[in-house]
Structure 1
Amino acid sequence: MSHHATAPAAGTAAPPAPGYRWVVLGTATFTQAAACFFVQGIGAMAVPLQDALGLGVTQLGLLLSASQLVPLVGLVAAGELLDRFGERWVVGLGAGVVAAGLLAGSLAPGYGSLLAVLLVVGAGYSTIQPGGSKSVAAWFAPAQRGFAMGVRQAGLPLGGALAVAVLPPLATAYGWRSALLAGGLVALAGAVAFAALYRRPPGVAVANHGVPKGSSERIGPIADRLGLLREPAVVRALLSGLAMVSVHSGLGVLGALYLHDATSLGAGAAGAVLVASQLAGMLGRIGLAAWSDRSRAGRYRPVLVSMAAAVAGLLALTTPLGHHPVGAAALFTWLGFFGIGWYGPWVAHLAEAAPPGRTGLALGLVMAVNQAAVVLAPPALGLLRLGRPGRRHRRDRGPHRPGAAG
């Protein structure tokens, strides 16, 4: 590590004290929640969007996929940028792009424009997950890293819970564009907070956290970068991530519609169930990640437990229990805890599996591969749902009935 690289950041009298890690954790969690606020609320806005724009289920799935499409490439680019330039401005500017896209989207004339806006949002959001994870991993020692990662990752279900509670009634009262305006303002607050408050840990290099500029560890051929995907720990994270992000995406985009169709819950009651599942996911990310700090079997054991629990919950949804309002609510809460909570220990496992100086690249690369499931799961699930004609026709016969809207 070069000694000149440890100089304080511009405008800072001295490096921040180790206790500043809690400020970093709070800031990263808030920025995560703020940046994902609108996107996590799209599924809960299914009925208002259907009624306002005349959308089918597959079109709703495409809306969620649109915000996740650019990260297929953007996450890898974000990982490179994070290793080269650090987290502060890469994450701050990314959240700013999310805000700008949503604010512009509040002027969108219709469905096509909304799709285009969400592509822009996806480009900015590409920096948030790997950047926030890398910032927390840099500040926390292994004994606390899982817990800290879990708290930071809880920002996503926290943002989702707030979005489910706020956006549908806002869209119903003032129109769907008002929801984009609110999402843009919230994302802007996250961007400003991260740029203003984040600092590097004491003694950490400006470029690539200790890897000298020009080092082959930082910049290498494409084949060398893809070689990270052959690391056993990275392969485990990749395969489990592909499976579990499909569960999370399905809950987000089709949860409200499933509850409406299978249990006859109105939009308000279905929204309450989704809020409960997101809050359970928030607790799961913290609790399962904290468990990984103490698990003698390693950080990956809580991920395996979460996968088994998610399979059990999905199978239970196909039984009569899943068609009863109380039973379905309990199962959605279970799926929230494990089907969303798995990400806390998973991302801590992945960050520690990365080679020195390449944490950003490893996070971005694996998250980019996982994006395939994020992008394909919502429209695929929508097509499966369309293959069930009885329920589709029930919705199609009365999209403007009071029961359909709330």
Structure 2
Amino acid sequence: MGYRWVVLCVGAVAQGTNAAVFLGLPAISPQLQQHFSLTLPQVGLLLGAVNLGTMIALVPWGVVADRRGERLVMTIGGLGAAACLLSAALGNAWVAGLALLGAGLFGASVNAASGRAVMSWFGKDTRGLAMGVRQTATPLGAALTAAVLPGVAISAGVPTAFVALAGVTAFVALAVALLAREPPGAVRAGAEHGLVLKDPRLLRLSLASGLLVVPQFTATALIVPLLHDHRGVSVTAAAAVFAVAQALGGAGRLVVGVWSDRARSRIGPLKVVSALTAIGFALVAVLDQAPLPVLVAVLVPASVLALCWNGLAVTEAGELAPDGRSATAIGMQNSVNYLSAATTPFVASFVAVHVAWPAAMALAAVSAVVARVLLQPWRSLRASSPQNSRSVS
């Protein structure tokens, strides 16, 4: 087996561990609400702190990864995130919020740097699959966290849940330090990165991605409260539905990755997924008061569609960049995602509580429609740089 698969495995595990924080924590929303004496919108703000920190730090981490390599960036970032998670266990809601902001600032290192590793080690004919594997780790990490963390929080308390996340994060950071490395002939970037960030195709892609994050994080933030608070399902059962949706979303990322490799296009499949996501959330809004099995039967596929597209957008962003600057491009694309992710839990929760639950789902559907419109005139251009043809064994 080529060493590229070792690097992919390490990067995917790091990605999944990072997802345990920013996607897994919503599974214990009821426990966070009770432990910190918060309202549901306030819990949305608390959870959004992770995404806000990530959004701020993504481009800087990407620039550093392009210049210094992904191993250094992911190791420092992972250990810093672990320290912040430990801090979250020690105080009140304000301390936890600041600590989660710090966890996002450090955890952002994984997003840009692990994407750079995939771009460096895999050629364009297998990059969709490889990036799909990397991106699949995100919902799978969230699903595993959703399956385990509520039990930890209920039996041992919210602080113990934070300590557990910190321990896993530190362990994975050490594994990255030992196993991650660049391929022979890897290109390091110089000081010039402004042209990457000003590419109009990258800006359009980033905006469309940010809009697609709205349904994704509406589902992530509201599946458990929707089923538990709105429809009376137990916390355990609601968390199980959340975990199933995350796991299927992970499988979907592999499917669309292979699809994009065979189609030799990332944007074509992304357009289709955007349209289907809009339809799915529109149906959830309409069927809000349908019998519970019917609602779940629509909610889970809509959530899966909202989760499965990320690898397509990340791969396209990396392939738009000049050789040696993929982490900066991925950081830019991810920054808009995390800006949306930082605000969506609060906005969706506010709309659900103060307007109506169907209105929150309709807002997600409209966002997917606008994203699809932005992608309509797209013509994906393949750069001829070594980055877009290299495949290392």
Same fold (TM over 0.5): yes
| 2:166 corresponds to 1:198 | no
Output one character per residue of 1:25-44: Cα deviation in whole Å (capped at 9) or x when no partner: 11111111112213322211
Output one character per residue of 1:131-153: Cα deviation in whole Å (capped at 9) or x when no partner: 11110111011111000000011
Larger radius of gyration: 1
| 2:295 corresponds to 1:338 | no
- Secondary structure of the equivalent of 2:191? coil
| 2:9 corresponds to 1:26 | yes
Cα offset, 1:319, TM superposition: 2.0
Kindly provide the amino acid, as one letter, of the partner of residue 243 in structure 1: L
Mapped to 1, the partners of 2:221 and 2:63 lie a distance apart of 30
Say which of 60, 77, 80 aligns to 1:77: 60
- Find the counterpart in structure 1 of residue 391 from structure 2: none
- Secondary structure of the equivalent of 1:55? coil
| 2:58 corresponds to 1:91 | no
Say which of 347, 352, 362 aligns to 1:380: 347
Cα offset, 1:242, TM superposition: 1.2
Kindly provide the amino acid, as one letter, of the partner of residue 286 in structure 1: L
Structure 2 gap ranges (5+): 359-393
Q: TM-score, normalised by structure 2?
A: 0.87
CA contact (8 A) 1:273 1:333 kept: yes
How many percent identity over aligned positions? 31
Moved more, 189-198 or 236-245: 236-245
Alignment of 1:153-192 (within 5 A): 153-192=135-174
Cα offset, 1:225, TM superposition: 4.8
Alignment of 1:221-240 (within 5 A): 222=194, 224-228=195-199, 230=200, 232=201, 234-240=202-208
Output one character per residue of 1:341-392: Cα deviation in whole Å (capped at 9) or x when no partner: 101222111111112222111111221133221111111112112214899x
Kindly provide the amino acid, as one letter, of the partner of residue 63 in structure 1: L
Say which of 220, 224, 235 aligns to 2:192: 220
> What RMSD in Å do the two structures reach over aligned CA positions?
1.9
The count of aligned residue pairs is 358
- Find the counterpart in structure 2 of residue 305 from structure 1: 272
Distance 1:113 1:356, change over 3 A: same
Kindly provide the amino acid, as one letter, of the partner of residue 245 in structure 1: V
Q: TM-score, normalised by structure 1?
A: 0.84
- Find the counterpart in structure 2 of residue 403 from structure 1: none
Cα offset, 1:52, TM superposition: 2.1
Mapped to 2, the partners of 1:390 and 1:123 lie a distance apart of 31
Mapped to 2, the partners of 1:148 and 1:79 lie a distance apart of 19
Output one character per residue of 1:66-97: Cα deviation in whole Å (capped at 9) or x when no partner: 11112332111011101110101101111111
CA contact (8 A) 1:245 1:373 kept: yes
Output one character per residue of 1:228-277: Cα deviation in whole Å (capped at 9) or x when no partner: 2x1x2x24421320111111211222210011234321111111110110
Say which of 220, 226, 240 aligns to 1:272: 240
- Find the counterpart in structure 2 of residue 143 from structure 1: 125
Mapped to 1, the partners of 2:158 and 2:36 lie a distance apart of 9
CA contact (8 A) 1:65 1:375 kept: yes
CA contact (8 A) 1:281 1:341 kept: yes
Kindly provide the amino acid, as one letter, of the partner of residue 56 in structure 2: V
- Find the counterpart in structure 1 of residue 42 from structure 2: 59
CA contact (8 A) 1:263 1:323 kept: no
Mapped to 1, the partners of 2:356 and 2:139 lie a distance apart of 32
Say which of 277, 281, 298 aligns to 2:249: 281
- Find the counterpart in structure 1 of residue 226 from structure 2: 258
Cα offset, 1:201, TM superposition: 0.8
CA contact (8 A) 2:63 2:193 kept: no
Say which of 327, 334, 340 aligns to 1:360: 327
Mapped to 1, the partners of 2:303 and 2:284 lie a distance apart of 13
Mapped to 1, the partners of 2:20 and 2:87 lie a distance apart of 16
